A and B are shown apart, each in its own frame.
Chain A
Amino acid sequence: MLIIEIFKLSLNTLRTNKLRAILTLSGIVIGVFSIIAIMTALSALQSGIESGLSQLGSNTFQVQKFPAVNIGGPMNAKYRNRPDITYEQGVKLMEKATTYKYMALEYWKSGKVFKHGQFATNPNMGICGTTPDWTYTNDYYVKDGRFLSEKEIQSSADVCIIGLEVVEKLFPKSNPIGKKILLDNRDFIVIGVFEPKGESFGQSLDNIAIVPITKMLEIYGRRESLNISVQASSKDNYFETVENVTSVLRVIRGVRPGDENNFEIYSNESLISSVNSFTQYFKYGAGFISFIALLAAGIGIMNIMLVSVTERTKEIGIRKAIGARSSNILTQFLVEAIILSQVGGVIGIILGVLSGNLLGIYLQASVVIPVDWVIIGLVSCTMVGIIFGVYPAYKAAKLNPIDALRYE
């Protein structure tokens, strides 16, 4: 007897018992759906994070006091007790380090209000005090006007370059260049406007004003640690640059040989890898929960197949009497169980990919299909079908035709 015949037979049986089949496979649907939805959302999120992190310029790394991603609770004392990265350390690093191409010091303040005449922004603007190389290390372009000059840094000039969002809010109809603007209630002259940069993780990158770092220190004091962003001249000497900057900064910050760095260096790549290791935990958790869901669904299939075998005892007797072998009966019931779990699996995968991507789109990530998890889903559904279908099918195959025919 051909497997195609058995397949048709099983399909027919399931069709005549639609409600039961649907209820049984819904268990599988839910199990597969949960794993695929979570994996799809995570993959979408991950690719979103990766493209978001690429906002940093290429071959660029950051030096700061605290790690970029801190897994395992609040910032611990190890990081808090480190000395701040000061302006003087930064300037010395720029002098002494040899292999970098661009280097900028950054001093950020967020949640500020900018004003011009009767116009004011929301209190979600960021001010960054920095040095002339900042546009290169952060991948910004000045559209109109110019960026900070070395002279303006030294003289701590009241000048700023603003992002597009600031322009739209404060200068809806006029050209901002040369105009006076209030940044956190202090006067600045606008000398340049950035090209729009877009968003990263749903946060605008265009709601900023850049001022000389010296001015920033004057206004907000020196009690905060600075960031240093560095760009290597090429991919080839990226690691050399990291090495050089690290060793020079260790000397400047007085780290003894053999001691751990008292600062963190991170790049796009290292951020991505730490995000990945973070999502890994989610994946293990989701995988485990889905495994339990599939187990429950498998028991559901086994239960319904056992009921089905009992209900169809007479049918099995008839089939055996007219010449069905035990193996024919076994295959028939096994195929039924596999079809149930496969159909459930496919529906679960489709729903999972759809809703995972919807969540991804909501979180502004791109659409992905996690092929590896789709394959894992299909394989584990088949396994569930076989594992939980074998016993009922075996029970059916082993029925004695005489007893089965007599069964009412």
Chain B
Amino acid sequence: MESLIKIENIVKRYDMGAEELYALKNVSFEINKNEYVAIMGPSGSGKSTLMNIIGCLDTPTSGTYILNGKDVSEMDDNELAHIRNKEIGFVFQTFNLLARSNALHNVELPLVYAGISKNERIKIAEDALASVGLEDRMKHKPNELSGGQRQRVAIARALVNNPSLILADEPTGNLDTKTGEEIMALLADLNSKGNTIIIVTHEKDIAKHARRIIKIRDGLIADDTTKPLKGEI
């Protein structure tokens, strides 16, 4: 299996005046392409910090992070922006869509920053929206869509740059159980089509959709279990 993420001895330290706070004490793991991983942990465990580092929103204090063959742990802000644009698709708990823009424009946005031409952009964004079943909602603004539809728009936006990793932070946290299941099914479907997915959650029910569960506690990996495939053992 080809490695997508290689994290080695990652430490994240915050200097709070005189006190030093270690959000991540020493974390190492690898994630291969096309894996479906859940990162679990209670609040304060360091899972959000880990997610920010995996998502290239933050850099570790020490340690190395290789994403898709590139060492991103030493990159500057502009290089990280480029990596986020090309390699990572974010799905957030609160959807984080631009309220004043319609679904199509929201999905188009990563392509704008990637410097893709208008016509091409619209075509790709329309395809992405169609792939999440929203072909007839493209001109709707977020407040004209249901929660589930908004999360689908967000997933379409995450997919649109064809990233090597989809990073979902509590993707069902603001949805009812049924809609949540639909979103999880959509993510599972994306995984089956070859996408690498990491979800960050504290809900066991959600985490169980993933084949591999990494549990974080007090800035360390407490558990890392991969369910056997059916028919294995």
User: Which A residues fall within an 8 A CB radius of B?
Assistant: 1-2, 5, 12-13, 16, 314-315, 317-328, 401-402, 405
Separation of A365 and B84 alpha carbons in the complex (Å): 64
When C-beta atoms are compared, the residue in chain B nearest to A9 turns out to be B112
- Residue B13 lies at the interface, judged by CB distance under 8 Å to chain A: no
Separation of A321 and B157 alpha carbons in the complex (Å): 12
Task: Flag if B115 contacts A318 (CB, 8 Å).
Answer: no
Task: Flag if A322 contacts B52 (CB, 8 Å).
Answer: no
Task: Flag if B78 contacts A2 (CB, 8 Å).
Answer: no
Task: Flag if B78 contacts A323 (CB, 8 Å).
Answer: no
Task: Flag if A323 contacts B113 (CB, 8 Å).
Answer: yes
Please, which residues of chain A bring their CB within 8 A of the CB of B84?
A: 320-323
Separation of A326 and B84 alpha carbons in the complex (Å): 13
Separation of A314 and B97 alpha carbons in the complex (Å): 10
Task: Flag if B92 contacts A405 (CB, 8 Å).
Answer: yes
Instruction: Looking at the assembled complex, report how far the CB atom of A18 sits from the nearest CB atom of chain B, in whole angstroms.
Output: 13
Task: Flag if B57 contacts A321 (CB, 8 Å).
Answer: yes
Task: Flag if B100 contacts A1 (CB, 8 Å).
Answer: no
18 A-B residue pairings within 8 Å (CB atoms): A317-B96, A318-B98, A319-B109, A320-B84, A322-B84, A322-B90, A322-B110, A323-B81, A323-B86, A323-B110, A323-B113, A324-B113, A326-B81, A401-B57, A402-B52, A402-B57, A405-B57, A405-B92
Please, which residues of chain B bring their CB within 8 A of the CB of A324?
A: 81, 113
Separation of A405 and B92 alpha carbons in the complex (Å): 10
Q: Give the contacting residue for A322; candidates B78, B115, B157; CB below 8 A.
A: B157
Task: Flag if A322 contacts B57 (CB, 8 Å).
Answer: no
Separation of A5 and B110 alpha carbons in the complex (Å): 13
- Residue B21 lies at the interface, judged by CB distance under 8 Å to chain A: no
Instruction: Looking at the assembled complex, report how far the CB atom of B14 sits from the nearest CB atom of chain A, in whole angstroms.
Output: 12
Separation of A314 and B84 alpha carbons in the complex (Å): 17
Separation of A405 and B113 alpha carbons in the complex (Å): 18
Number of A-B contacts (CB under 8 A): 58
Describe A's contact surface by its main secondary structure: helix
Instruction: Looking at the assembled complex, report how far the CB atom of A322 sits from the nearest CB atom of chain B, in whole angstroms.
Output: 5
Please, which residues of chain B bring their CB within 8 A of the CB of A319?
A: 109, 113
Task: Flag if A326 contacts B78 (CB, 8 Å).
Answer: yes
Task: Flag if B90 contacts A321 (CB, 8 Å).
Answer: yes
Separation of A317 and B81 alpha carbons in the complex (Å): 12
Task: Flag if A322 contacts B109 (CB, 8 Å).
Answer: yes
Q: Which of B3-27 contact A (CB under 8 A)?
A: none
Instruction: Looking at the assembled complex, report how far the CB atom of A85 sits from the nearest CB atom of chain B, in whole angstroms.
Output: 79
Separation of A156 and B52 alpha carbons in the complex (Å): 108
Please, which residues of chain B bring their CB within 8 A of the CB of A13?
A: 100
Task: Flag if A1 contacts B57 (CB, 8 Å).
Answer: no
Please, which residues of chain B bring their CB within 8 A of the CB of A314?
A: 96
Given contacts A401-B57, A405-B96, contact A326 B110 (CB under 8 A): no
List 15 other contacts, CB 8 Å, given A321-B96, A405-B57. Answer: A1-B115, A16-B100, A318-B98, A319-B109, A320-B81, A321-B55, A321-B90, A322-B90, A322-B110, A322-B157, A323-B82, A323-B85, A325-B81, A325-B113, A405-B92
Please, which residues of chain A bring their CB within 8 A of the CB of B98?
A: 315, 318
Separation of A249 and B77 alpha carbons in the complex (Å): 84
Separation of A2 and B92 alpha carbons in the complex (Å): 28
